[in-house]
Amino acid sequence: MTKMLHSVTLQDVALKCGVNKSTVSRALRRSPSLNPATVERIIAIADEMGYNAEFHDMARRLALRKQGKRALNHVIGLLFPVYPQAEYYSQMLRGIMSTLMEQGFGLLTVGVNREDMPCPEKFIFPPSFHRGDVDGVLTIVRPDHLCPLLENLTNNTGFGQRPVVSLIWTLPGHPSVLTDDEQGVYSAVSHLLDLGHSHLLLLQHYPLGGDTESRRLAGARRAVLERGLDPEKHLLRIEHTYAWLDPVKIAEMTANGSSANHPLAHFLGEHPEVTAILTQNDAGAIGAWYLLRAAGLRVPDDISLIGYDDLDPLLDEQGRNILTSVRLPLSELGREAARQIVAQVTGEAGCTEPIVLPTTLVVRGSTAPCNPARRVRD
């Protein structure tokens, strides 16, 4: 008697191929983690045996629903902010996508515009989130903006309490994958103090969201305190918006002669003791460099400058990147976050404590020993 198509199971195919069920499942999804020849062989055997993947998937989903359980869709959602820092998010995205593909998962990306953040009730998730088509969510959105969005999402029965993993920021009640921002800024400040700089300016984004900025500040304060210096006196701070040091806008201000009106220029005029600046990211460091040059200050002869993320180069006349910066492991951050969300949705033992990846200080030509001519005695 000829077998009915639906009587051939995944286990039958696995036994015929001499592999386990998970390998067959990945092969049928053409997972890039398997040898292409292995994939083609398994698919050919499954076709020859008359395996009907669609039938079994439907039957599996119905059985799970009757048991009050969720069916795995092999789809992960990603919430990311629509900001101009393209390479910053692209590196994380590459890490996320490569790891999810290896595990046989797809990715559904959803951009969150800055305009939506103050009004979470106006943000509309794609129908896939509400239908239960998404197994879990990765997010690169600041917690102060994300929490209202997540509250709306988790209140929807189609999503419920599906797992969420946060990148960059800790998210209360959810796993997080972070970069070691405290150690990153600690190493940068220590480098400047070792060069003889004693009055530093730390630029941070405002409004402060989550604990990223507080970790950076903690690292800066620790380095200053270890040298026996008073952070209140030797570590000055300015909180600013993302656009405050936009290199394009600063270049335009420099070209039309209005850069002297920038608040940073005024601040440095009022605080001549400052001989080194640490910025929120490399783009901000480049914007600061334009302002410093317009003010007649040379980097690093008069003032040292450190960026953060090691993504945007500050090129000299020979086309070499001279910007000292703290390098972030953004691709590995994405890979680790993807590993964690897959572990969560498949029921494996994922980490509950934040996973912190190391940063690296890359010293180049924008930092140098403190110029005594600019140094103001305590």
**Nearest-angstrom CA–CA distance, 78 and 51:** 33
Residue in this structure with the two tokens 């040379």, named with its chain if needed: 298
pLDDT tens across the length of the chain (378 residues): 344 444 688 888 999 999 988 888 888 877 777 898 999 999 999 888 888 765 666 555 555 555 555 678 889 999 988 765 678 899 999 999 999 998 889 999 988 876 555 565 667 888 888 888 899 999 998 887 788 888 888 877 778 889 999 999 998 889 999 999 999 999 999 999 999 999 999 998 766 556 888 899 999 999 999 999 999 999 999 988 777 888 888 888 888 888 888 989 889 999 999 999 999 999 999 999 999 999 899 999 999 999 999 999 999 999 999 999 999 999 999 999 999 999 999 887 667 789 999 999 999 999 999 987 764 434
261 part of a folded domain: yes
Domain presence at residue 164: yes
Q: 21-28 and 10-17 helices cross at what angle (nearest 10)?
A: 100
Q: What is the pLDDT of residue 63?
A: 53
Same domain, 305 and 269: yes
Number of domains in the chain: 3
Identify whether 334 is part of a domain.
yes
DSSP secondary structure code for residue 310 in this structure: S
**For residue 187, what pLDDT is reported?**
98
Helices 86-102, 330-345: axis angle to 10 degrees equals: 40
pLDDT for 268: 92
Please indicate, yes or no, if residue 319 is contained in any of the structural domains.
yes
Domain that holds residue 285: 181-329
> Does residue 90 form part of some domain?
yes
Residue 22, number of CB atoms within 10 A of its CB: 12
Q: Round to whole Å and give the CA distance between 105 and 351.
A: 20
